[in-house]
Structure 1
Amino acid sequence: MDRMDAISLFVRVVDSGSFSAVARTLGVGQPAVSKQIAALEAHLGAQLLQRTSRSLTLTEAGRDFYESGVRLLGDLEAAESRVGRGRIAPSGLVRATVVPVFGRLYVVPRLHEFFVRYPDVAVDLVVADRLMNLVEEGIDLGVHNGELSDSSLIARKIAQTPVVTVATPAYLEAHGEPAIPAELEQHFCIIYAPQGAPRIWGFHGRFGPTTHQPKGAFRTNDAEQIRTAVLADLGIAHTPGWLFASEIASGAVRPVLTDYEPAKLSISAVRPGGRFLASKVRVFIDFLAEIFAQDPSLAL
């Protein structure tokens, strides 16, 4: 038994709360993971985990060993970076989650640069329209739009975007341009409904914040379809600015209600708390921050 590998495996099991989740991430069978943890417990002469058919809980010895294991792995990572002075290159698989259109527009086109820089790092992009349970799904980091409600996650702000209300010139020529949010009642709104219910549109004018409950014939939970619907002259949408940055620049769509734009939306790299930051994850977060800073629609 390689003790460092066993400790790393134990920390991952505790972080995920599941033998099977770790096994899926590593591409091995669950019995292999269970066998490694059992061998570690036998070596230490103490039970680390209490197993039931539904859950895993740490024993008192397990809690102490977990905290020590996290520190040990973090110290080892830091020592390798210091001593290697760049010779120990980051390696391994980074699993990251992004919303589908954002990944297609802003991440995938720049990955070639990342792989040239870090040829031993592979990237697995998992698309989801909401922030997944990073620990249960074995995700190293998520690229998240907006405020973070889960206090157990560590967030680093790496970009920001305005929230815009847009339509095509053809739609506005046919239906007129709203001058205030209340006039949206006379327009066809393209509705984003991520969990079945339409998301309310927020505005902020000189008299403070106001909201609008969008109404329209078309709703979807997919940002790509929002883009397509706007470009097909179906109506007005209220979205993060990055979704239409190139179309706004080219004039293919036009922002409206610009005097009522709400505060900019933060874009953060979020990761599970309580675990060491692997160099492969750190360099990927740094890379994302770097490429977003180069884009006027995302720069801080």
Structure 2
Amino acid sequence: MDRLDALKLFIRIVDGGSFAAAAREIGVGQPAVSKQIASLERYLGAQLVRRTSRSMTLTEAGQSVYEAGLRIIGDFSELESSVERGQTSPGGLVRISVAPVFGRLYVVPHLPALFARYPHLSVDLSATERTVNLVEEGFDVSIKNGQVADSSMISRHLASSPIVVVATPAYLEKHGRPERPKDLDRHSCVIFAPMHEPRIWRFQGIDGPDLHVPSGSFRTGDAEQIRAAVLAHMGLVQAPGWLFAQEIASGAVISVLPDFAPAPLPIHAVHPSGRQLPNKTRVFIDFVSEILAADQGPAFVSIGV
């Protein structure tokens, strides 16, 4: 039995939901499929599926083999494609998860340069604010803002973004400029509420940490709407500098309370552990790191700051 073919067959069975469906797809009898999977189970020393007359479920070992198999088959397909093209540069499809506004501002505009450097590379970008399961959903890498809590993932620190409080000149001219965090009690805030609860604003000063629960007429869990509300003069917001870097540089918004800014927000590239990082993923992560390192100032600060 060819182990790679058996692994491909097992993945086909899981994806199709039954031994019979996989047998029809490859044009063989169901007993032949059952025999190959039984042989694979003997080789691995573990039961992969539980079968009844009406259903099929994966065992815990079967789920692990399925997830690992997807990566193995994907890497082998990339290798085959590279050899067939006679290419020496990385190629293949990189599946990426990224926050929508971050992707729009700092990933998509730079993709032409990435493709010029690696002409055999392609990108499938999923823009979402939710936390994705990289393994179960088939992503190669996620670009995440903030600390990485999942110890089963490998993360690389790409950059840090200063935390700023900003408002438009028109808003500050009408309502005044806060000089200390406690002054925010008299101001309207644009509230970021990703889980329908206001995200607390954090400050750091000579007297230690300070917290502020923002209040205002508008709250949203969407960063694009945060930008729109601030630029519509609806109030102040605390946000990573990258979200308003262009407006800070142009003067469209003004940063206030800089002496009370908390520690910068780290930005990581996160990918599954347990295997060597494919070249296609590595070069994408390296490229994003280059982009952020070249955009110092309002958006990002050097790693370690």
Class of the TM-score when normalised by the shorter of the 2 chains: 0.7 to 0.9
Q: 1:8 to 1:149 in 2, by over 3 A?
A: farther
Partner residue, 1:207: 207
Superposed displacement of residue 250, structure 1:
1.0
For the residues of structure 2 that align with 1:208 and 1:31, how far apart are their CA atoms? 64
Superposed displacement of residue 87, structure 1:
4.4
Q: For 2:134, what is the secondary structure of its paired residue?
A: coil
For the residues of structure 2 that align with 1:101 and 1:284, how far apart are their CA atoms? 19
Structure 2, unpaired ranges of 5+: 27-32
Cα deviation, 1:136-169, whole Å, max 9, x if unaligned, reads 2111110000011111111001111001100011
Q: 1:31-50 counterparts in 2 under 5 A?
A: 31-32=21-22, 41-44=37-40, 46=42, 48-50=47-49
Q: How many residues align?
A: 280
Q: 1:39 to 1:244 in 2, by over 3 A?
A: farther
Cα deviation, 1:159-208, whole Å, max 9, x if unaligned, reads 11001100011100100011111111110000001011111111111111
AA matched with 1:255: S
Superposed displacement of residue 213, structure 1:
0.5
Cα deviation, 1:58-77, whole Å, max 9, x if unaligned, reads 44xx6998999899889989
Identity of aligned residues (%): 52
CA RMSD across the alignment: 3.6
**Aligned partner of 1:57 among 56, 59, 74:** 59
For the residues of structure 2 that align with 1:192 and 1:218, how far apart are their CA atoms? 9
For the residues of structure 2 that align with 1:175 and 1:105, how far apart are their CA atoms? 30
Q: Is the 8 A contact 1:19 1:33 kept in 2?
A: no
Q: Is the 8 A contact 1:70 1:276 kept in 2?
A: no
Q: For 1:135, what is the secondary structure of its paired residue?
A: helix
Partner residue, 1:155: 155
Q: 1:157 to 1:55 in 2, by over 3 A?
A: farther
Q: Is the 8 A contact 1:41 1:48 kept in 2?
A: no
For the residues of structure 2 that align with 1:277 and 1:39, how far apart are their CA atoms? 33
Q: Higher Cα Rg: structure 1 or 2?
A: 2
Cα deviation, 1:225-269, whole Å, max 9, x if unaligned, reads 111111111000010110000111111101111111000111000
Q: Is the 8 A contact 2:3 2:40 kept in 1?
A: no
For the residues of structure 1 that align with 2:256 and 2:158, how far apart are their CA atoms? 27
Partner residue, 2:126: 126
Partner residue, 1:182: 182
Q: 1:11-160 counterparts in 2 under 5 A?
A: 19-20=14-15, 31-32=21-22, 41-44=37-40, 46=42, 48-51=47-50, 56-59=58-61, 87-160=87-160
Q: TM-score by structure 1 length?
A: 0.80
Cα deviation, 1:91-137, whole Å, max 9, x if unaligned, reads 22111011111100010000001111111111011011132111221
Partner residue, 2:255: 255
Q: For 2:124, what is the secondary structure of its paired residue?
A: strand
